[in-house]
Amino acid sequence: MNAGETYDVVVVGSGAAGAMAALRAASNGLSVLIVEKAHKYGGTSATSGGVMWLPNHQLAPGDDSREQAMQYLEALIDVPVQRDRLEAYVDGAPQMASFLQSLGLPIGAGVWPDYFPELPGARADRSVVCDTFDGRRLGRMFPLMREQYTRFKLFRRYSLDLPEFFAISARGPGWIQAFLKILWRYWTDFGTRRIGARDRRFTQGAALMGYLYDEVFKRGVEVRLETKLEELLVEDGAVRGVTVSNFGRRYDIAATRAVMLAAGGFEWNQALRDRFLPVPGLTRHSSSPEDGNRGEALLAGERIGADTEHTGDAWWIPTMHMPTPRTSNFEEIHQAAFDVGRPHSVCVNRNGDRFVNEACSYDEFGEAMVADQLATGANTPCWLVFDATFRDKFTAGGFMPSIIMPDWRVGVDRWDHYIFKADSLAELAGKINVPAAKLAATVSAMNGFARSGVDEQFGRGGNDYDRMFGDPTVTPNPCLGPIDRPPFYAVPINSGDLGTKGGLKADARGRVLDTQGQVIPGLYAAGNNSGNPFGNRYPGAGGTIGPAMVFAYIAMDDVAAADSGATADEQPAEEPATT
């Protein structure tokens, strides 16, 4: 191999897994290069909520324990997984969290119930969040981090942290004050306004990635943009580098210690979706960055004999599409993760039947869509049906509450194409081609459940997670409100995703395995590039980013330990290791 450049570690992908791999490797004294095929760095993580599900994180006294975390995961997981990999995650989570704290990252446990709070061992403090970050600290790299979707911003411009998002989207207590504070903060930031429209206040996933890359750049790590992985370079059975391309020019980069694949899943590759997923869905329904994660790293690994696991599932989330503002020829995807479970609404398949507790976690909702599609052929898409009370108070994907987006502001080309409206349920059923009698019966049952406070069919609003996203002003069940105030509305809900759960099979140290179960020397994988340690499950908010960062951390300690002759378990957990 005649590579013109040589690094100890080459990291492919710049999301949370890639950033942590680079940071930990550099802290261990290794030279690192990050290659990123997109024009901006930060990956899907920078556009996400930025939550890390870290069981046993030990961030506070009287915290979670290893035993309780394993109890929850054992009760949750119902498919074969690598037990030692699962245990490595639970054991590595507090070490990675401690490392972040040692660098001064403002992280803390949020009050967010696990997605299956009824299971033994469940808690409400495993989802770890990061405080806001001043993007200007990144200097010239400030405008080059991938920006949060405009659909996640207030009026497509103003950044929202999670408390602001939930307060404003549900019009909770103090939402007007939060709204005015956001506007004031943005327009009085005169220095940033001279640079451009981007809010210097990085929130959610951008905040986490901002803090990580602030540390990455301090250690002299380069992020090379518009640089796509083409092939893995193998010598004597070990991965020793990568072939990349930049605007069509191909060249080799040597990696003396390791190549870390952290390039995301395959949700934007329709051929791979058709190959792996039982109900493939369409790439355009994914809510990850458009045409981003296409599985190039997975395919490169397969070409050198790597095995895969858990490729039949995605991190599901219900989505809907609508035209972009002022350019109706183009569409954008909107997440409807919490909209589908708000009171005064119901979700039905095309037969008019309910198929799920609509207030469950978004991944569980997506799993139910897939199961119902396989059973009935009448799902994907399904319908969110709601009344004028819902319309006044809540979002429906990209349609803001009527206080922000009254019906007269909804473009005429949206009606009866992206959102449907009628004065009666029977008329609405005709417009969306759902049996009128069945829809009427379903809504009547829901209205009865709203009066009693008990969903006798699916138990909606029966646990802490459901109620977290309900309306506390609605009684006796904050997730159940009557659907009885005309006009009535419906929007189609697609089987969308946040990414795919399956990828290259990696062991408890992040090393990629071949189809015979043997380690491929020099090759590591983390994040959606690798198999989900939970199999087909999604245990809590941050269930994607948490494992991505923990296994990237573990992997780079393994790389450093291999050079020093120590085992990865002997590397210090709290402070960066040196070689």
Whether pLDDT at 579 is above 50: no
Whether pLDDT at 575 is above 60: no
Quick: pLDDT tens for 316-372: 999 999 998 878 888 989 999 999 999 999 999 999 999 999 999 999 999 999 999
Instruction: Taking residues 427-452, report their average pLDDT.
Output: 98
Quick: pLDDT tens for 375-426: 999 999 999 999 999 999 999 998 989 988 999 999 999 999 999 999 999 9
Q: Kindly report the CA angle at 100 between 189 and 290, in degrees rounded to 5?
A: 60
> Which residue is it, tokens 């609605």?
474
Distance CA 530, CA 298 (A): 8
Mark residue 176 as left, alpha or beta (left: phi above 0; alpha: psi -120 to 50; beta: remaining). alpha
Distance CA 446, CA 481 (A): 8
Whether pLDDT at 268 is above 50: yes
Instruction: Taking residues 563-567, report their average pLDDT.
Output: 57
Helices (H), 219-348: 270-276, 296-303
Pairing of strands 519-525, 249-261: parallel
Whether pLDDT at 244 is above 60: yes
Q: Which residue has the higher pLDDT, 301 or 111?
A: 301
Looking at residue 393, its pLDDT comes to: 93
Instruction: Taking residues 225-243, report their average pLDDT.
Output: 98
Distance CA 421, CA 424 (A): 9
What is the full DSSP assignment across 389-430? HHHHH--BTTB--TTTS-GGGS-TTTBTTTBEEESSHHHHHH
Phi, psi of 251 (to 5 degrees): -155, 165
Q: Which residue has the higher pLDDT, 176 or 268?
A: 268
Distance CA 146, CA 148 (A): 7
Whether pLDDT at 467 is above 80: yes
Whether pLDDT at 565 is above 70: no
Going along the chain from its start, the domains and CATH numbers come out as 1-153+199-313+501-571+575-579 (3.50.50.60), 335-497 (3.90.700.10)
> What number of residues does the chain have?
579
Q: Which two structure tokens, joined as six digits, stand for 65?
A: 């324990």
Instruction: Taking residues 453-473, report their average pLDDT.
Output: 95
Nearest to 481 by CA among 346, 347, 336: 346
Nearest to 357 by CA among 157, 117, 557: 117
SS3 231: strand
Looking at residue 181, its pLDDT comes to: 81
Looking at residue 198, its pLDDT comes to: 83
Q: Which residue has the higher pLDDT, 535 or 325?
A: 535
| pLDDT tier, 190 (very low <50, low <70, confident <90, very high otherwise) | confident
Looking at residue 189, its pLDDT comes to: 78
As a dihedral over the C-alpha atoms of residue 428, residue 431, residue 435, residue 441, rounded to 10 degrees, the angle is -10
Looking at residue 227, its pLDDT comes to: 98
Asked if 95 and 555 count as a contact pair (C-beta separation under 8 A), the reply is: no
Distance CA 144, CA 77 (A): 39
Looking at residue 449, its pLDDT comes to: 98
Whether pLDDT at 507 is above 50: yes
Whether pLDDT at 170 is above 90: no
**Residues whose CB is less than 8 angstroms from the CB of residue 180 and which lie 6 or more positions away in sequence, other chains included:** none
Quick: pLDDT tens for 46-86: 999 999 999 999 998 777 999 999 999 999 999 999 999 99
Instruction: Taking residues 280-306, report their average pLDDT.
Output: 96
Instruction: Taking residues 211-231, report their average pLDDT.
Output: 98
Looking at residue 512, its pLDDT comes to: 98
Mean pLDDT over all residues of the chain?
93
Which helix (DSSP H) or strand (DSSP E) does residue 492 occupy? strand 488-500
**Residues whose CB is less than 8 angstroms from the CB of residue 305 and which lie 6 or more positions away in sequence, other chains included:** 514, 515, 520
> Which residue is it, tokens 């020099």?
522
Q: Which two structure tokens, joined as six digits, stand for 434?
A: 């759902």
Whether pLDDT at 573 is above 50: no
Q: What is the DSSP letter of 527?
A: G
Quick: pLDDT tens for 17-51: 999 999 999 999 999 999 999 999 999 999 999 99
**Residues whose CB is less than 8 angstroms from the CB of residue 508 and which lie 6 or more positions away in sequence, other chains included:** 82, 84, 85, 87, 88, 554
Whether pLDDT at 151 is above 70: no
* 504 residue type, one letter: L
Asked if 57 and 540 count as a contact pair (C-beta separation under 8 A), the reply is: no
Nearest to 53 by CA among 104, 110, 102, 3: 110
Looking at residue 278, its pLDDT comes to: 97
Whether pLDDT at 228 is above 50: yes
